[in-house]
């Protein structure tokens, strides 16, 4: 935070801070705020903005399990960059979003029965 106060345009530090907020502190709202600041910066290359939007969608899926927010984020890529390959990648990811969410679900543990230790060998 101190570094960002001195260098507010340091996008690498801001991205790392967003990941720390999300992964370590479980604060998706603060992480999203940091990424939105990066996305809204002027004169950023499209590739970088797409990266941040995809990262935001990743965090929304991983931490909030919020498919609506992730859909909106991916739709932003499609709307903002319609002619780029990133738009078709985002559309593909939208189509597979249910599978991505299902992959993040924890499976239930299946308890096996208890078996006798004495199987007849002496």
**CATH code, domain with 23:** 1.25.40.10
Domain assignment present for 116: no
Domain assignment present for 82: yes
Res. 100 pLDDT band, cuts 50 70 90:
confident
What tens digit of pLDDT does each residue of 36-47 get?
Answer: 999 999 899 999
Domain assignment present for 89: yes
Q: Looking at residue 13, what DSSP letter applies? A: H
* pLDDT at residue number 10: 84
Number of domains in the chain: 1
Which of 75, 14, 4, 86 is CA-nearest to residue 45?
86
Domain assignment present for 85: yes
Q: What phi and psi, each to the nearest 5 degrees, are found at residue 75?
A: -65, -30
| pTM over the 0.85 mark | no
Long-range Cβ pairs for the range 80-89 (8 Å, 24+) = 80/49, 81/46, 81/49, 81/50, 84/46, 84/50, 86/46, 86/47, 86/50
Domain assignment present for 110: no
């Amino acid at each position: 935070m101190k570094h960002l106060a001195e260098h507010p345009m340091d996008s690498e530090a801001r991205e790392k801070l967003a990941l720390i907020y999300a992964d370590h502190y479980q604060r998706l709202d603060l992480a999203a705020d940091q990424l939105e600041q990066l996305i809204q910066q002027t004169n950023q290359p499209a590739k970088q903005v797409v990266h941040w939007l995809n990262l935001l969608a990743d965090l929304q899926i991983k931490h909030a399990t919020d498919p609506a927010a992730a859909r909106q984020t991916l739709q932003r890529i499609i709307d903002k960059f319609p002619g780029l390959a990133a738009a078709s990648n985002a559309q593909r990811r939208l189509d597979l979003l249910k599978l991505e969410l299902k992959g993040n679900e924890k499976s239930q543990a299946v308890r096996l029965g208890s078996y006798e230790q004495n199987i007849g060998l002496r």
